[in-house]
Amino acid sequence: MESGKPNLLKNFLVRLLLFGVLVIGVRFAYVVTVTGESCNVGDFCFFSLPENLNFVMSGTGVGSSAIFSSDAGSVPSTTAAATGSVLRRDLYTSKDWIKAANFYSSVFQDLISHGYLSPESKSLCVETPKGQDVFALKEIGVSDSVGIFKKASKPLVINGEAHRIPFGDNTFDFVFSGGGRLEKSPRPLDFASEIVRTLKPEGYAVVHIGAKDTYSFNSFLALFNCCNLLTIRDIDGYDSSMPFIREMILKKECVFLSHGIKKNSHDDENGDKCLVPGYKQDLVRKAEPLIMEEPLKPWLTLKRNIQNVKYLPSMADISFKSRYVYVDVGARSYGSSIGSWFRKQYPKQNKTFEVYAIEADKTFHEEYKKKKAVTLLPYAAWVKNETLSFEINRDAGDKVTDKGRGMGRIQPVKGKIQQVNTMGRYDGEVDKIQGFDFANWLKNTVTEKDFVVMKMDVEGTEFDLIPRLFETGAICLIDEIFLECHYNRWQRCCPGQRSEKYEKTYGQCLELFTELRRSGVLVHQWW
């Protein structure tokens, strides 16, 4: 009977011990899994290496080796000595980790020799999951260095993301982004803006990217407001995932403006006019040739020609754009081109596009209410804001069905218009609609940092809209155009007869395409 008290005490001690183990286990899981911190003794973790275990890198060039040593006579690592922290054996002794650290060490020593980096530079490495670049900086004597990543790996890397760097304005003398991480980012503009924000005036930013083409190169530069490009060099990478690296060195030349606000290049002393940049003209030279001879059957010609179209994303990397926008001017139904062509065939490089459908015909408006991924503008694209008369056009022989309707000719006059059909006469259906200044809307909706694709099918109004785009400079905001030019083509129903619906000739359409390409606009013929 007296043994009850010892058993009770024993049970209490066992439960207390189990509770302590549970507390340690929960703490370990929280530190390592939730916060992403390193597991140190102070965190109640018992899996750390001895404190005298140091990491030693012999040599600084690519191919050098790295070892761990706990011997008293070993040379202490500058990283371990500087931080007094314990490094993980499984990560910091792997062959790939060492190879990367040696590569970055070679890169940074070259930057020191050219004066872009010094041992006194307060340095930041952005989006570095394993911290090889931070380690390399410390190894060569740039001791005031730190890295950020969404999951910390102390002592080299703390919590932080590129689009929201956890440091104040004008903090660092040197900011580095390697591994092509900027071009892989879903938010490249925010990534670049944060680099510029945290960089001191006269400080240097060095970015490694994988893209080679001039289009992506210029898109990259456009992200960095207040920075001038100093030099470019091409170097070999350290692994197969990025065998080629283009190194960009930029210098911050002005005080950073909040949110990257900068005066648009097309708003210059010449007014709103712009010149399409030369690197876009390079793409035009690679485009498919224009069809010089008028096709007898345009729809069949389009079907054959669409196989030859040189889409911009098939010729260049579009990774450095802030947003991706598709504008369908004269969209008609969703399946007319957005669903049947753009969604299925246009090469998007895995980017998500914002889609705008501009369609004045009310027949199609109800359908777009069910398409949440599309923004409908239920107006007519025009050269200014005003009320217009709007013809509902149908080709001869078409039945009066929804599919037979579409945005016809628009003009700034009121009243009913008699539509003459070559197969007979009938009163054309006329509506009053609101026209809007398309060029002005475009300038208020997108920027030069966005990737903008446009399809235009506006029943002859292209001869008004295209000049307006040039006049206002909005043409410089469009990267690629698919244009249907309307002319007095041969009738489907009546061989030898031309449509009286349009006044322009095929030759005039060809002049419009030629002038667009001559100006550096990547335009494709569409029917």
DSSP string of 140-179? TT--SEEEEESS-BTTTEEE-BTTB-SS-TT-EEEEEE-T
Task: Label residue 401 exposed, middle or buried (CB < 10 Å: 0-12, 13-18, 19+).
Answer: exposed
222 with 304, same domain: the answer is no
pLDDT in tens, 109-137: 999 999 999 999 999 999 999 999 999 99
pLDDT of residue 273: 67
pLDDT of residue 173: 97
pLDDT of residue 254: 75
For residues 288 and 235, give the distance between their C-alpha atoms in angstroms, rounded to a whole number: 33
467 with 332, same domain: the answer is yes
In a domain, 453, yes or no: yes
Dig out the tokens for 110 from the structure. 């070259």
Minimal CA–CA distance to 436: which of 384, 488, 472?
384
**For range 314-343, the mean pLDDT:** 95
Cis ω on the peptide bond leading into residue 155 (within 30° of 0)? Answer: yes
- Range in 24-28, 113-117, 450-454 the model is least confident about: 24-28
Residue appearing with tokens 């030099």: 231
**For range 157-180, the mean pLDDT:** 95
**For range 63-85, the mean pLDDT:** 38
**Which position has the higher pLDDT, 467 or 50?**
467
pLDDT of residue 401: 44
pLDDT of residue 160: 95
> What one-letter code names the amino acid at 212?
K
335 with 477, same domain: the answer is yes
**For range 88-99, the mean pLDDT:** 73
In a domain, 296, yes or no: yes
237 with 322, same domain: the answer is no
In a domain, 442, yes or no: yes
**Which position has the higher pLDDT, 248 or 49?**
248
Question: 3-class DSSP state for residue 384?
Answer: coil
Q: How many C-beta neighbours within 10 Å does residue 166 have?
A: 11
pLDDT in tens, 453-464: 999 999 899 999
pLDDT surpasses 80 at 477: yes
Measured between alpha carbons, how far is residue 143 from residues 79, 120, 178, 367 in Å?
Answer: 8, 8, 19, 61
Percent of the chain whose predicted confidence (pLDDT) is above 70 = 73
189 with 302, same domain: the answer is no
- 181, HSE (Cβ side, Cα atoms, 13 Å): 20
pLDDT band of 430, cuts 50, 70, 90: low
pLDDT of residue 65: 38
pLDDT of residue 41: 38
pLDDT band of 225, cuts 50, 70, 90: confident
Measured between alpha carbons, how far is residue 284 from residues 220, 262, 317 in Å?
Answer: 20, 28, 15
pLDDT of residue 502: 80
pLDDT of residue 433: 87
pLDDT band of 392, cuts 50, 70, 90: low
352 with 478, same domain: the answer is yes
Residue appearing with tokens 């070559």: 422
pLDDT band of 230, cuts 50, 70, 90: very high
Enclosing H/E stretch for 517:
helix 506-518
Q: Which domain holds residue 314?
A: 278-393+408-414+428-525
Instruction: Confirm if 135 and 156 have CB atoms less than 8 A apart.
Output: yes
Dig out the tokens for 289 from the structure. 């040739």
pLDDT of residue 257: 44
In a domain, 28, yes or no: no
DSSP per-residue string spanning 33-77? IIS-----GGGT-S-PPPTT-EEEEE-SSTT-EEEEE--TTSPPP
290 with 193, same domain: the answer is no
What sign has the CA pseudo-torsion 369, 372, 373, 376?
A: positive
pLDDT of residue 262: 40
330 with 476, same domain: the answer is yes
327 with 191, same domain: the answer is no
CB proximity list for 1: less than 8 A, separation 6 or greater: none
Contacts 24+ apart (CB under 8 A), 274-277: 274/473, 274/475, 274/476, 275/476, 275/520, 276/475, 276/476, 276/519, 276/520, 276/521, 277/218, 277/476, 277/520
Please give the tally of structural domains in the chain: 2
pLDDT of residue 90: 52
287 with 247, same domain: the answer is no
In a domain, 360, yes or no: yes
Percent of the chain whose predicted confidence (pLDDT) is above 90 = 54
The pair phi, psi for residue 246, each rounded to 5°, is -105, 120
In a domain, 492, yes or no: yes
Residue appearing with tokens 């040197």: 174
pLDDT surpasses 50 at 327: yes
325 with 463, same domain: the answer is yes
Burial track 290-326 (b if 16+ CB lie within 10 A, e otherwise): ebeeebeebeebbeebbeebebbbeebbbbbbbbbbb
- Range in 18-22, 47-51, 216-220 the model is least confident about: 47-51
Q: Helices 462-472 and 506-518 sit at what angle, rounded to 10 degrees? A: 20
In a domain, 219, yes or no: yes
pLDDT band of 69, cuts 50, 70, 90: very low
pLDDT in tens, 135-166: 999 999 999 999 999 999 889 999 999 999 99
In a domain, 85, yes or no: no
**For range 18-30, the mean pLDDT:** 70
- Which residue stretches of 223-331 are H helix? 278-286, 298-305, 312-315
- Range in 254-263, 306-315, 328-337, 461-470 the model is least confident about: 254-263
pLDDT band of 27, cuts 50, 70, 90: low
For the chain, the average pLDDT equals: 80
> CATH number of the domain that 481 lies in?
3.40.50.720
118 with 184, same domain: the answer is yes
pLDDT surpasses 50 at 42: no
**For range 461-487, the mean pLDDT:** 95
Instruction: Confirm if 501 and 394 have CB atoms less than 8 A apart.
Output: no
pLDDT of residue 52: 38
